[in-house]
């Protein structure tokens, strides 16, 4: 099945979405962290911390952080959960290079490692990881079903798949405020950082097209996950999804 968000591309070119997303993130990598914090007004750190606390209840000795970008979620996971190992993967070498520098500066190189991997075609063996995480990356997947099946495959039975994603508020007045912010304020802020404008037009377009709430929970169920639940943050601006790989 094809989902609407899979057809939302950064550049609307004839290239596959994966190649366009890689190009986009390579281009914005140097400014990504500063801009991301500005666009979220700094509240994204709270979302990430609260989400990761859920993993305390589950095995988390070896975590797979998918679409790791500049490594912020992996670094925070190390701080909060103290796993033995975090394997951080992404398709953008430019983003991960920034992450590698941060990990080195923090002395976390023994715990966090980076690899170029396509989440729809992971090279890892079955049942390799205790948990899998994604922060704000599922919207960029070229094939959500295939990627979720790969996450399911590499997770150990009983493992938790946890991801947070930007979503569209459904209730007034936040719905109207959010629409105004993404349409008018976000492009101005991204311009202040001399960042490629197309990347931050793509952001609200992909959020609007993303399967949300019950629809996303049904996608997770279809791909084998159980005990699926969600938590909404900041009146629906962000949603945390959690799902488990069953033991049988």
pLDDT in tens, 50-63: 999 999 999 999 99
> How many domains does the chain fold into?
1
For residue 119, what pLDDT band results from cuts at 50, 70 and 90? very high
Separation in Å, CA 228 to CA 127, 223, 247: 19, 12, 15
| Model confidence at 31: pLDDT above 90 | no
**Quick check: 71 pLDDT over 70?**
yes
DSSP string, 9-45: -SS-SSS-HHHHHHHHHHHHHHHHHHHHHHHTTTTHH
State which residues form the domain around 20. 4-244
Whether 33 shows a pLDDT value over 90: the answer reads no
* pLDDT for position 248: 81
Over residues 82-105, mean pLDDT:
97
CATH for 132 = 3.40.50.150
pLDDT value at residue 40:
66
Q: Cα separations (Å) of 79 from 59, 108, 122, 139, 210? A: 16, 10, 26, 26, 30
Tokens standing for residue 162: 């946890």
CB neighbour list of residue 110: distance below 8 Å, 6 or more residues apart: none
Burial of 88 (0-12, 13-18, 19+ CB in 10 A): buried
pTM of the model: 0.93
């Amino acid at each position: 099945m094809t989902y609407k968000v899979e057809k939302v591309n950064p550049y609307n070119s004839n290239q596959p979405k994966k190649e366009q997303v890689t190009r986009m993130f390579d281009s914005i990598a140097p400014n990504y962290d500063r801009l991301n914090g500005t666009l979220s007004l700094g509240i994204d750190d709270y979302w990430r911390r609260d989400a990761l606390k859920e993993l305390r209840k589950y095995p988390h000795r070896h975590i797979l952080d998918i679409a790791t970008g500049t490594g912020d979620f992996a670094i925070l996971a190390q701080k909060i959960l103290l796993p033995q190992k975090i394997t951080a993967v992404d398709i953008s070498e430019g983003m991960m290079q920034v992450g590698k520098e941060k990990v080195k500066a923090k002395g976390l190189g023994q715990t966090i490692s980076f690899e170029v991997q396509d989440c729809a075609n992971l090279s890892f063996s079955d049942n390799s990881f205790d948990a899998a995480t994604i922060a704000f990356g599922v919207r960029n997947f070229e094939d959500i079903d295939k990627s979720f099946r790969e996450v399911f495959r590499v997770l150990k039975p009983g493992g938790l798949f946890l991801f947070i994603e930007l979503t569209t508020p459904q209730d007034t007045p936040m719905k109207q405020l959010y629409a105004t912010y993404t349409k008018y304020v976000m492009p101005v802020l991204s311009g202040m950082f001399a960042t490629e404008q197309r990347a931050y037009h793509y952001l609200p377009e992909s959020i609007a097209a993303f399967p949300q709430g019950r629809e996303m929970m049904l996608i997770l169920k279809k791909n084998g996950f159980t005990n699926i639940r969600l938590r909404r943050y900041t009146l629906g601006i962000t949603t945390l999804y959690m799902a488990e790989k069953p033991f049988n």
